[in-house]
Structure 1
Amino acid sequence: MEPVTSSARGQQPGDVIKGDLRDLRVQLGMLNRHVGARLGLREVDLDCLDLVSRHGPLSPGALARQAGLHPATMTGILDRLERGGWLVRERDPADRRSVVLRVPPDRGREIAGLFTAANAAMDELFAGCTEDELQVIAGFLHRAVEAVRTAATGL
């Protein structure tokens, strides 16, 4: 993997990385808009489904917190996703008075199928990295997510 040097862009390395992260955010947003359009879902719907798929089952309140959405907004999103069969509400086995959210496996596979090409491209990119490089990248990304989460919480 050949790095892009800061001198190639006339910028400091940190500025190059921040610019590339912004470009990545735009490209991921475009990918999500295309996937959402194919499925008839909004970007926020995909975000919520992704959070439930990766961290669920989740309570509606926990999902609202993770997505950074007001609970009343979340109710409308959940109603829409449930009507479309993208999400199910089930009684929480630990507390029958509570509800948890789950993405039905067939709908999860349907969404995942539209990300196959992007995931294959990422796998190919990873194949060109050493284990140590991947560990550095993973650590950086984790810290970057936390830094942005902290900044967003402060707004």
Structure 2
Amino acid sequence: MKASHADAVPSAALALARTELGEELEFMRLLWAVAHGMSSTSRVMEEAMGVTDLQRRVVWMASRFPGITASRLASVLHLHPSTLTGVVKRLVQRGHLLRQEDPLDMRRALLFVTESGRKLDVPDTYTVEGAVQRLFARIPRETLSEARELLTALAEELHRADEEHGGEAPPSEMAKQAQ
């Protein structure tokens, strides 16, 4: 297993860096570490299993909710519909998903997992959900509940900020000062 950059930094230096960052940046540093870990795990999954974490999540959801609409799936996974369209297209091409038009509304797509897709929907050590399962096995329920509340509040705050600006980034204070 490769040593990470953080492993190469002495723990005293890390402790000092954490102190100097302040609460907000330290919290964000941890979020970045999670995002990086998910991205790295996704690359390993693609090499080992032939699918990324996102593709596996799509298969996972479609296997648990056969006939789920693409729009509902995008909402549940917090994806832009155009992002999901590309993921679904690749999974259909590889034979892991079946995409059918909704007979009641031809504009909607219904998603079903194929036999090939079901083979991807098995527990595996090298997946993001495997890491989450291992975490859940060792963290007290009350801690998990508090973490869920915190992450939910952060997601709501980010969503609120996005809605307030219509999905477009407002000019930042730094950008205004640079002009």
TM-score (norm 1): 0.66
Amino acid at match of 2:29: G
Structure 1 unaligned spans of 5+? 1-5
Matched residue count: 147
- In the alignment, what sits opposite 1:3? none
In structure 2, do the counterparts of structure 1 residues 146 and 92 end up closer, same or farther at CA, with 3 Å as the change threshold? same
Bigger Rg over Cα: 2
C-alpha distance in 2 between matches for 1:147 and 1:25: 18
Whether contact under 8 Å (2:96, 2:116) holds in the other structure is no
- In the alignment, what sits opposite 2:37? 27
Q: Compute the displacement of 1:29 (Å).
A: 0.6
CA root-mean-square deviation:
3.7
Identity of aligned residues (%): 19
1:147 aligns with 2:161: no
TM-score (norm 2): 0.59
Whether contact under 8 Å (1:36, 1:46) holds in the other structure is no
1:20-48 deviations in whole A, cap 9, x for unaligned? 00111011011011112233345664464
- In the alignment, what sits opposite 2:79? 67
Whether contact under 8 Å (2:95, 2:116) holds in the other structure is no
1:61-111 deviations in whole A, cap 9, x for unaligned? 44456421438x82x543332121111123547x26443012336524525
- In the alignment, what sits opposite 2:97? 87
- In the alignment, what sits opposite 1:102? 112
Q: What SS does the corresponding residue of 2:99 show, helix, strand or coil? A: strand
